[in-house]
Every structure is written in structure tokens, then in C-alpha cells.
């Protein structure tokens, strides 16, 4: 399969090139040249297949030309070592719980898949060690670090802003050891990102070591997110609830929902999608007006959705050939303030006993307000509420149980290397590695 850039100014890339480069040289995002429909027979019997079996069929449509079947199967099966259950919250509303992986957020799926695919390419080429640099404001670092943990031939450097991530988040990437190094930067997230960008542009450094990035626009992190939309459909079909299915996705950078839209293009019988925003509602405004006006993000309690210029908007436009009308025919939007998010977490907990996290709460509320007669809604519960402990406990006035997996991270000993935000010292450190 060839991958083209959404900016159309870069040469087409192979899967391997797209995965290793991440972003195209014209700064566009890679898109697969074709999105293959899956046969009707697959949908006819999908409810009898396991998550792994379903995901392999989807993976084969994207990656089957480039990765041998047995290898691809193993990558998919290893990646999805946890369940993604669709849990009924109330009549006609289901939660697709994407938080049963190692770091309790949906980014585990893409992070784990990408690590394994990159590991395969490196082995195949007999390349020397590849070094992954990733800047994080919290959740990405943990998903990427845990995804790559123990993968041969790859070393991961997580750069994070000192004192600006929660204790739980920090523990998830500073306690791992092995091939993961945490660099605690005396600066902001933007400083971390600048260090990473400068490293990619530095000729001397690139001659010394092979560098790559694991950010969320990478096709190997983006495409595997389609897997669980098919599994959600399978579960609802089994429950007899799949006829008029509406899928609602709490969205920030729009990678997650775009993978779902790819699924629909492959024939997945979803009636329509909803994108739930927090106050950073650039996409919502686009749907209303047809104008895309990026603006600086504002901080909210659904912080993983605080994005002012969603990268994957370029992929949405490419998928619908820039047609606002076509986009609006399949996707609607919603936007909520922190106050509304709090209200929703609290009321849902009181009325149903189900504890939402602040991101999932946007998705749930959009369904509550937007479902039409005869429709069934499923929202993506993108992270476990315990990852936002103080916020959620503050809202419900109760203690939240911390899952064993999170507790295990808390017990580990933090190991990090302190780093100034000055590029020369970062470079000197890497040159000694």
C-alpha cells in the first residue's frame, strides 16, 4: 500500500517509510491510497468473532500487502491483550471501555501496535538500534513508553516538563527501566517538543544515532484505532442493538474519531458519528459555519482534549474531499464547558451508578442530548476515571477506587534524568548515549 501526504507536495511513501518518518516532508499527514471495503460476509457473522479476530481482518485490509500474515496476526494479537467491553449505562446508551490496557487509556492500542510494527521493520532490515523521542504532557508518554517496553532494537526517550504532570502520569513512564529513559526537563511541554524537533533537524545527532518519533499522527498509531469500532458494532449486534447505531467520540486531536470514519468507509454499518468537544470547540464551529479557525487551546478538566488546531482535521478533509456538506452528513458535533462536564459526571453517577471520566462525560452527554427515536448510542470511554483522581473525587464527593494496574505503577521507584531546556545540553547528553 502506498501512502500519500494530505499536502500533496511530498512523494508517496511505503508503509515502512510512513511509519519511520511519521510526518511527510511537506508536513502533511500520511493517508492510505485506498481504503478497502470488507466483504458483506464479514459483517454478517461479525458477532461470532473475537476482538482479535475482528481486528486482524481490519489490519489485513490496511497492512496485509506489506506485512506477512503470520507476523501481522501476531502483532495484532499481542497488541490487543486486553478487552474493550461495551457496557450498558442506561437504556440505549453504551460505554465502550477503552481503559483496560496497561496505562488505562485508549492510546494503548495505537502505542502498542506501533511499537510492534516498528520492531518488525527494524528486525527485517537488520538495522542498528532506533531511538524514539517523544515529548509528553502526560498521557502520550505513558502509552508510548509502555507500548515499547522490552521491544528489542528500540530505545525510548520520554521528555516531560518537570512538575507539570500528575504523580500517576509521571510514575507510568519513570518507573519502567529497561529500554525506557525518562528525561525530566526544566521547562514546559512546549520546551520538550522544541527539543525533540531540534533533535530531528540536527545533522550531527542524526549521523550519530537513528532517531524517530512516535507522535499520534503516525499511521501506525492512527489506523489501529479503527479496530475497536468494529468490535463495538459486533457487541451491539449480539445484543440486538446495532440497527441504528450512533458512535460518539470525545475528541481533541481527532485521530480517534477519524479512525472510526475510516471504518465506516470500509462498510461498517454505523448510522452516524458525533464528535464531542470541550470548550476547545474548533471542529464544532467548523460544522456550524464551514470555516476552520484554529485558536490557542484553553485548559479544561478534560485536558487530553485541549487542542486548538487538531492535526487530524487534515485527514477528515482528505477523506471527504474537502466537502463540508459531506462531512456534515456523517458527523455532528457537541461542545461542553467544565461546569457541564462536572454536572454530567455527577448526575450520571447518581442516576446510574456509572462513573464517567471527564472526557467520556462529553461523549455521554452528547448522546443523551442528541440521540433520535430508535437510535442506539455508544460513546468511547477514552480513559479510566481514576486517571483524573482529584477532579473526579472532587465532583462526586467520594473516593474512587484505584485499579490494581495503576496502583502497581504507584509502587515503583521514579527514575529520571534531569535536563535543562537548552538544546546543546540535550544534544551533548544524546551524543554520549
Ligand X SMILES: *Cc1c(COP(=O)(O)O)cnc(C)c1O
Q: For residue 42, give every residue at least 6 positions away whose Cβ sits within 8 Å of its Cβ, in sequence order, or none.
A: 57
Find the binder of ligand X among 117, 383, 392, 400 (CB under 6 A): 383
Binding mask 290-329 for ligand X (x = CB under 6 A): --------------xx------------------------
User: Smallest distance, Å, CB 299 to ligand X?
Assistant: 15
User: Smallest distance, Å, CB 85 to ligand X?
Assistant: 17
Phi, psi (degrees; rounded to nearest 5) at 419: -145, 140
Residue among 19 and 304 whose Cβ is closer to ligand X: 304
User: Smallest distance, Å, CB 192 to ligand X?
Assistant: 17
**Beta strand pairing status for 86-90 and 30-32?**
unpaired
- Counting contacts by CB under 6 A, is residue 253 touching ligand X? yes
Percent helix, strand, coil in the chain, to 5, is: 50, 15, 35
How far is Cα 38 from Cα 57, in angstroms, rounded to an integer? 8
Instruction: Retrieve residue 134's grid coordinates.
Output: 517523544
User: Smallest distance, Å, CB 426 to ligand X?
Assistant: 26
Active-site annotation holder among 21, 36, 88, 107:
107
Find the binder of ligand X among 116, 359, 365, 421 (CB under 6 A): 359
| Segment near ligand X (CB under 6 A); pick from 185-193, 245-253, 260-268, 290-298 | 245-253
What stretch of H or E contains 21? helix 15-21
What stretch of H or E contains 245? strand 245-250
- Counting contacts by CB under 6 A, is residue 107 touching ligand X? yes
User: Smallest distance, Å, CB 341 to ligand X?
Assistant: 12
Instruction: Retrieve residue 185's grid coordinates.
Output: 526537563
Instruction: Retrieve residue 183's grid coordinates.
Output: 528525561
Cα distances from 391 to residues 334, 341, 355, 400, in angstroms, run 22, 11, 12, 10
- Counting contacts by CB under 6 A, is residue 215 touching ligand X? no
Residue among 6 and 382 whose Cβ is closer to ligand X: 382
Cα distances from 230 to residues 31, 110, 260, 416, in angstroms, run 20, 15, 9, 39
What stretch of H or E contains 417? strand 417-420
Residue among 98 and 183 whose Cβ is closer to ligand X: 98
Catalytic annotation on 107? yes
Residue among 5 and 103 whose Cβ is closer to ligand X: 103
Find the binder of ligand X among 111, 141, 250, 260 (CB under 6 A): 250
Catalytic residues: 107
Positions touching ligand X (CB under 6 A) are 105, 107, 139, 250-256, 304-305, 359, 382-383
Amino acid at each position: 500500500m502506498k501512502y500519500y501526504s494530505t499536502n500533496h507536495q511530498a512523494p508517496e511513501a511505503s508503509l515502512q517509510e510512513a511509519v519511520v518518518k511519521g510526518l511527510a516532508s511537506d508536513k502533511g499527514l500520511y493517508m492510505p491510497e485506498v481504503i478497502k471495503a470488507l466483504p458483506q460476509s464479514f459483517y454478517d457473522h461479525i458477532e461470532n468473532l473475537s476482538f482479535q479476530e475482528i481486528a486482524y481482518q481490519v489490519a489485513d485490509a490496511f497492512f496485509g500487502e506489506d506485512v506477512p500474515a503470520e507476523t501481522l496476526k501476531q502483532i495484532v494479537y499481542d497488541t490487543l491483550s486486553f478487552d474493550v467491553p461495551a457496557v450498558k449505562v442506561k437504556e440505549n446508551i453504551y460505554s465502550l471501555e477503552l481503559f483496560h490496557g496497561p496505562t488505562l487509556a485508549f492510546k494503548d492500542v495505537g502505542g502498542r501496535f506501533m511499537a510492534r510494527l516498528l520492531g518488525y521493520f527494524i528486525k527485517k532490515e537488520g538495522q542498528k538500534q532506533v531511538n524514539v523521542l517523544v515529548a509528553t504532557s502526560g498521557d502520550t508518554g505513558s502509552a508510548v513508553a509502555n507500548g515499547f517496553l522490552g521491544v528489542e532494537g528500540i530505545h525510548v526517550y520520554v521528555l516531560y516538563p518537570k512538575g507539570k504532570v500528575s504523580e500517576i502520569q509521571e510514575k507510568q513512564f519513570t518507573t519502567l527501566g529497561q529500554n525506557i529513559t525518562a528525561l525530566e526537563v526544566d521547562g514546559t511541554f512546549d520546551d520538550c517538543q522544541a527539543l525533540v524537533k531540534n533533535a530531528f533537524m540536527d545533522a550531527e545527532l542524526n549521523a550519530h544515532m537513528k532517531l524517530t518519533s512516535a507522535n499520534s499522527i503516525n499511521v501506525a498509531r492512527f489506523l489501529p484505532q479503527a479496530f475497536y469500532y468494529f468490535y463495538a458494532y459486533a457487541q451491539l449486534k449480539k445484543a440486538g442493538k446495532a440497527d441504528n447505531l450512533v458512535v460518539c467520540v470525545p475528541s481533541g486531536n481527532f485521530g480517534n474519531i477519524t479512525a472510526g470514519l475510516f471504518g465506516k468507509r470500509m462498510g461498517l454499518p454505523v448510522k452516524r458519528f458525533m464528535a464531542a468537544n470541550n470548550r476547545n470547540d474548533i471542529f464544532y464551529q467548523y460544522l456550524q459555519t464551514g470555516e476552520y479557525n484554529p485558536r490557542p487551546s484553553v485548559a479544561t478538566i478534560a485536558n487530553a482534549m485541549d487542542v486548538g488546531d487538531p492535526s487530524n482535521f487534515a485527514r477528515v478533509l482528505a477523506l471527504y474531499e474537502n466537502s463540508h456538506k459531506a462531512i456534515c452528513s456523517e458527523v455532528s458535533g457537541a461542545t461542553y464547558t467544565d461546569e457541564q462536564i462536572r454536572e454530567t459526571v455527577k448526575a450520571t453517577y447518581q442516576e446510574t451508578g456509572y462513573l464517567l471520566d471527564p472526557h467520556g462525560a462529553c461523549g455521554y452527554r452528547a448522546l443523551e442530548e442528541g440521540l433520535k427515536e430508535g437510535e442506539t448510542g455508544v460513546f468511547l470511554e477514552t480513559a479510566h476515571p481514576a486517571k483524573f483522581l482529584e477532579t473526579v473525587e472532587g465532583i462526586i464527593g467520594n473516593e474512587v477506587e484505584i485499579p490494581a494496574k495503576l496502583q502497581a505503577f504507584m509502587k515503583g521507584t521514579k527514575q529520571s534524568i534531569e535536563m535543562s531546556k537548552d538544546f546543546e545540553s540535550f544534544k551533548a547528553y544524546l551524543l554520549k548515549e
